[in-house]
Structure 1
Amino acid sequence: MNSHSIMAVPSVFAAFDEDGDGKVSVSELQRCMEATLGEDVSEEEAAAVLVAVDADGDGLLNQEEFSRLIARAGAQEEDDADVKRRCLREAFGMYASSSADDTITPASLRRTLSRLGSHELGVEECRAMICRFDLDGDGKLSFEEFRVMMMA
């Protein structure tokens, strides 16, 4: 957890601790998770999250236990981001013209699409596909341009 996150924990904890008793209950956790995630969270799901970090076993989260929950959530987000980046890098490598060049050219895009069984596209059609996401105008896609395209 970075220093900004550590500083934010007391205010986030206070927001979750709706009744101000210094503890976060299952129902408080459930309501705040729903507000934060923007989707329904069952009482059972909230209880499972609470139990996972409830070190003293009182069925409530104090600020220290809540801090551990926030740290776990942050670590999970980082892990997810790393996995997505590795998968994107692997996909990018399939299309790249060579490992030394590390770009997707119209010719390398055409070659890979042909290997994947896509209907035959001409180099000009591949050039047009690349052009939409070629942010620096060099006629090829870098990994970052490919990442932007895949996230669009």
Structure 2
Amino acid sequence: MRRDVMEFERVLGYFDEDGDRKISLSELRSRMSKISGEFELKEAEIAIESLDSDGDGLLSLEDLITLMESVSEDEKLKDLKEAFEMYDSEGCGFITPKSLKRMLNKLGDSSKSIDECKLMIGRFDLNGDGVLSFEEFRIMME
């Protein structure tokens, strides 16, 4: 069994007070209240409704895994945006040859010319405009 699945099972076990391998509305409220103070009924209902994949009103191990994978994807996207912003030193919403050269210099590679930076950008510049948009950067980083 993969290590991360074992961790999800531990989380499920913590919330699953009656041992049925599912998290009910009352179990979610009870445990979340212990973790973060009061957890309103409406908050718990929204959480169950948005995560419950089979419509039984309970959260399963698979629902927890889906939740954690989506959180992980959100975190990756946030990290990519932060990295993109570092390269977009001009604040124009694109990585230009000039901003790429500037960032490479900061990273210790001062040997690249503007023409070399244009070539680097050109490999991932899908629309041929000479700069990298965030979407092109994201595809490059995949």
Amino acid of the structure 1 residue aligned with 2:17: A
Distance in 1, Cα, partners of 2:68 & 2:113 = 42
Which of 18, 33, 56 is 1:56 aligned to?
18
In structure 1, the residue matched to 2:83 is: 91
Count of equivalent residues: 110
Question: What is the alpha-carbon root mean square deviation over aligned residues?
Answer: 2.9
Q: What TM-score, normalized to structure 1?
A: 0.60
In structure 2, the residue matched to 1:149 is: 140
Distance in 1, Cα, partners of 2:70 & 2:9 = 24
SS in 1 for 2:101: helix
**How far off its partner does 1:112 sit?**
1.0
Distance in 1, Cα, partners of 2:102 & 2:110 = 11
Which of 119, 128, 132 is 1:137 aligned to?
128
Q: Which runs of 5+ in 2 are unaligned?
A: 23-53
**How far off its partner does 1:147 sit?**
0.6
Distance in 2, Cα, partners of 1:98 & 1:137 = 20
Distance in 1, Cα, partners of 2:21 & 2:88 = 49
Q: Which runs of 5+ in 1 are unaligned?
A: 1-33, 35-39
In structure 2, the residue matched to 1:29 is: none
Q: What TM-score, normalized to structure 2?
A: 0.64
